[in-house]
Amino acid sequence: MRYDRSQKTRSKPLYTAEQRKRRDASRWTLVQGVLAPFQFLVFLISLVLVVRFLITNNGEELANASVVVKTLTLYTIMITGAVWEKVVFGRYLFAEAFFWEDVFSMLVLALHTAYIAALGLNLLDARSLMFLALAAYAAYIVNAAQFLLKLRAARLQAAPAAVVSAGMEASR
């Protein structure tokens, strides 16, 4: 049996019209829009410092500090993101539209928190700490990709609605 593209089922829209209005009106949308690239910049700087330490065995303190800053930034974006999700979807986490992103975010948080605990309790040597940081960063990259794909899907879903809306306006 051949697959017919015309039989492809349409995916459920990411936002209802009401959720889209709440998203667009919320100051938390702007907060997330600012924090996400900031967190990525912090990640890139920290990644360089962690890899530099692993290669040269120099800069341990700076690498550790950068991972702590990255973790604090992550917690900030997670807390404000949960508030955003509550405003838009009516629940702090695991709204249907972002369920799997939130599930994976918990892994990212767990790995970053494990790093902080291991650092604070002196549970791992410096190299092991840095490899734990790299594991946390790998999970972060996967999670960031999930959110970027979700944003792209939202834009693609919004485009046809904008065309229909513009067409309705033009016909008046």
Q: pLDDT for 142-168, tens place per residue?
A: 999 998 998 888 778 776 555 444 454
Q: Average pLDDT of the chain?
A: 88
Over the stretch 94-137, which tens digit does the pLDDT of each residue have?
999 889 999 999 999 999 999 999 999 999 999 999 999 999 99
Residue 75 has pLDDT above 50, yes or no: yes
State mean pLDDT over 56-63: 98
Over the stretch 26-37, which tens digit does the pLDDT of each residue have?
999 999 999 999
> Residue 114 is encoded by which pair of tokens?
């494990």
User: For residues 126 and 82, what is the distance between their CA atoms, to the nearest angstrom?
Assistant: 33
Longest Cα–Cα distance in the chain:
70
Residue labelled with tokens 């949960």: 82
Is the entire prediction scored with pTM above 0.75? Answer: yes
User: Could you tell me which residue, 40 or 171, shows the higher pLDDT?
Assistant: 40
User: For residues 94 and 78, what is the distance between their CA atoms, to the nearest angstrom?
Assistant: 12
User: Could you tell me which residue, 7 or 87, shows the higher pLDDT?
Assistant: 87
DSSP 6: G
User: For residues 72 and 98, what is the distance between their CA atoms, to the nearest angstrom?
Assistant: 22
User: For residues 112 and 137, what is the distance between their CA atoms, to the nearest angstrom?
Assistant: 8
* H helix intervals, the chain: 17-25, 27-56, 60-89, 99-120, 126-170
**Dihedral angle over CA of 90, 93, 99, 104, nearest 10:** 160
pLDDT at 162: 52
Residue 4 has pLDDT above 60, yes or no: no
pLDDT at 156: 81
pLDDT at 11: 67
pLDDT at 3: 46
Task: Give which of 67, 45, 40 is closest to 126, Cα–Cα.
Answer: 67
